Amino acid sequence: MGSSALSTLLPLLTGALALIQVQAGFHSLQFFATVTSQPGLREPAFIFVGFVDDSQFLCYNNQGESQRMEPRALWVRQMGPEYWEQQTRTVKDIAKNSRVNLKEAMDVYNHSGNGDSAAQITLSKWEEAGVAEQRRSYLTGECVESLRTYLEIGKETLLGAVPPKAHVTHHPRPEGDSILRCWALGFYPADITLIWQLDEEDQTQDMDLVETRPAGDGTFQKWAAVVAPSGEEQRYTCHVHHEALTQPLVLRWDPPKPTIPIMGITVGLVLFGVVFTGAVAAIVKRKSRGEYPSESLERKQRPSLSITSPKAFLQLSTS
């Protein structure tokens, strides 16, 4: 089947046009319906998902255990039982129609042997049945009102912007160089830009960049990586741009800082205690034997044991 025929047939096979999008300002409501027939399945598999902007908020899978429309966002959980009952009935009707559409499309294709002809025949049947007019009415009416309702219910999440939390990780490679990976986590909405620079020059051609992914809590995550020669990691900076940031984040990899060994301080204090104790013992022993000269000479030769001595010793040990 040719690519033009495939692009025409796929929306017909979904039963819900695969994508329904309504713009209200900068917001959109989208639904994706997919029906597939595979050997061994009692009935075709059907999956239906809904998105407000970039956030999935509901899902139905006829191969799942619940056989019900299920929430995929915290804000939509506050909808009452009547809402979920209605959504489940509606999506099961869509699944039924999708199975019929799939069978008809496959029958037409098998009969004609030509994908373009099959698509045109199926499209003509839809037009005769008034499907296009029904969906046009839905898009300009109920769909818009549903989007407004969802934006009102989930406004704290859907109408707000959450800045990313960003950091850089360092991963040495056997080749001797290193991978620097810049992470952006927990941001909303999904639109974000990560750029690595070397000495303030963009490295977009040399970056490994993954698609933005949902984090499962209504926010998104993304990372961009670049290979840096050993010892030159500090020349690389990661620049993060997001609408929730007042200015872009600029990050470098920070090598781990050496820590002061606490054992060295402890040993120093113990040695000081031994030396101090030995000095006192020697003084007492010499006094007991009458070996000290006059009081004036004693004051000149006696070591100073002021309260500041431990501080001076401790500073010497930790420097």
- From first to last of its 319 residues, what are the pLDDT tens digits of the chain? 443 433 333 444 443 333 334 444 478 899 999 988 877 777 889 999 999 988 899 999 998 899 999 999 989 999 999 999 999 999 999 999 888 878 877 777 777 666 677 777 777 877 777 877 888 888 888 888 899 899 999 988 888 889 999 999 999 999 999 999 999 999 998 999 999 999 999 999 999 999 999 887 888 999 999 999 999 999 999 999 999 999 999 999 998 887 765 554 444 444 445 444 454 444 445 444 554 444 443 444 444 433 333 333 333 333 3
Instruction: Judge whether 276 lies within some domain.
Output: yes
Q: Do 77 and 130 sit in the same domain of this protein?
A: yes
Say whether both 170 and 153 belong to one domain. no
Dihedral angle over CA of 265, 270, 271, 276, nearest 10 = 130
223 and 147 in a common domain: no
Indicate if 109 and 202 belong to the same structural domain: no
**Contact by Cβ (8 Å): 19, 143:** no
Q: H or E stretch including 82?
A: helix 81-112
And the tokens for 44?
């075709």
The answer on 101 and 41 residing in a single domain is yes
Residue range of the domain that includes 195: 165-251
CB within 8 Å of 81: residues ≥ 6 apart: none
Other residues' Cβ atoms within 10 Å of the Cβ of residue 192: 20
The domain that contains 216 carries what CATH number?
Answer: 2.60.40.10
Tell me, yes or no, whether 66 and 109 share the same domain.
yes
Let me know if residue 16 belongs to a domain: yes
Determine, yes or no, domain membership for 257. Answer: no
Same domain, 20 and 118: yes
Answer whether 29's CB lies under 8 Å from 50's CB. yes
